[in-house]
């Protein structure tokens, strides 16, 4: 009963004068779940020789993080152009995997990538709302915008997917770099699908952020 009265008083103080006691503020902060892992799933949906025992695929990847301010700088410097081989951002993890394709279970790779306490703290400090860019902005709005860009976190995924299709008798290399903003993917779960057509052409797609998916 005493605990309930304390909580009621704390909430009353918050709405009355905007004061949040330290212990309640800590509870509010920890209630916002920050992921300890990023999960990247890559699925091969189809390929002409997918049922051939000689067909296989492999992935080598790097998973990185960068703030929005540095991301803009890299973009201005042309580091995201298709011909650029430079990889931007801070490396979190790199790895590789390989599997034959005849088994349906092998047509999906799932990478669980640990996020360090320091990375988690960056995600926790990410701005909840962004200042909107306008043609005319006050000096104060520009200052806040720059502060937000320095705190806004973006994940970068650099995979090279190598598929040997035994029916086509050829290797297909797919560089499929992806940029995922944490604000759009707050659970740090990402998905890519790959399709190989009969002529050897391919499609690589990423999952949409939760706020952009059509409602059921």
What whole-number distance in Å separates Cα of residue 65 and Cα of residue 167? 38
pLDDT number for residue 6: 41
More confident residue, 23 or 118: 118
What whole-number distance in Å separates Cα of residue 181 and Cα of residue 191? 14
pLDDT number for residue 14: 34
What whole-number distance in Å separates Cα of residue 41 and Cα of residue 46? 16
Q: Residue 107 — pLDDT band, cuts 50, 70, 90?
A: very high
**Cβ distance 179 to 190 under 8 Å?**
no
Q: What is the pLDDT of residues 137-166, one digit of tens each?
A: 778 777 877 888 889 999 999 999 999 999
pLDDT number for residue 81: 78
For residues 160-178, average pLDDT: 96
CA distance readout (Å), 88 to 61, 85, 153, 175, 182: 13, 10, 13, 15, 16
Among residues 100, 92, 146, 145, which one has the least CA distance to residue 123? 92
- In this prediction, what percent of the chain has a pLDDT beyond 70? 81
User: Model pTM greater than 0.85?
Assistant: no
More confident residue, 198 or 82: 198
22 pLDDT above the threshold of 60: no
29 pLDDT above the threshold of 70: no
- In this prediction, what percent of the chain has a pLDDT beyond 90? 59
């Amino acid at each position: 009963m005493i605990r309930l009265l304390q909580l009621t008083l704390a909430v009353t103080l918050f709405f009355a004068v905007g004061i949040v006691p330290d212990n309640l503020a800590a509870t509010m902060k920890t209630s916002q779940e920050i992921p300890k892992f990023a999960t990247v799933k890559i699925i091969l949906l189809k390929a002409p020789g997918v049922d051939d025992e000689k067909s296989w695929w492999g992935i080598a990847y790097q998973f990185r993080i960068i703030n929005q301010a540095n991301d803009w700088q890299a973009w201005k410097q042309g580091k995201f152009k298709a011909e650029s081989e430079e990889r931007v951002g801070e490396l979190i993890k790199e790895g590789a995997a390989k599997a034959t394709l005849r088994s349906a279970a092998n047509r999906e790779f799932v990478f669980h990538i640990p996020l360090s306490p320091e990375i988690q703290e960056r995600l926790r400090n990410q701005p909840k709302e962004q200042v909107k860019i306008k043609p005319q902005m006050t000096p104060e709005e520009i200052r806040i915008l720059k502060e937000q860009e320095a705190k806004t976190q973006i994940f970068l995924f650099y995979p090279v997917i190598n598929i040997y299709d035994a029916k086509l008798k050829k290797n297909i290399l797919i560089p499929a770099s992806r940029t995922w903003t944490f604000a759009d993917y707050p659970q740090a779960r990402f998905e890519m699908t790959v399709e190989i057509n009969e002529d050897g052409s391919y499609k690589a797609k990423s999952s949409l952020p939760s706020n952009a998916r059509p409602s059921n």
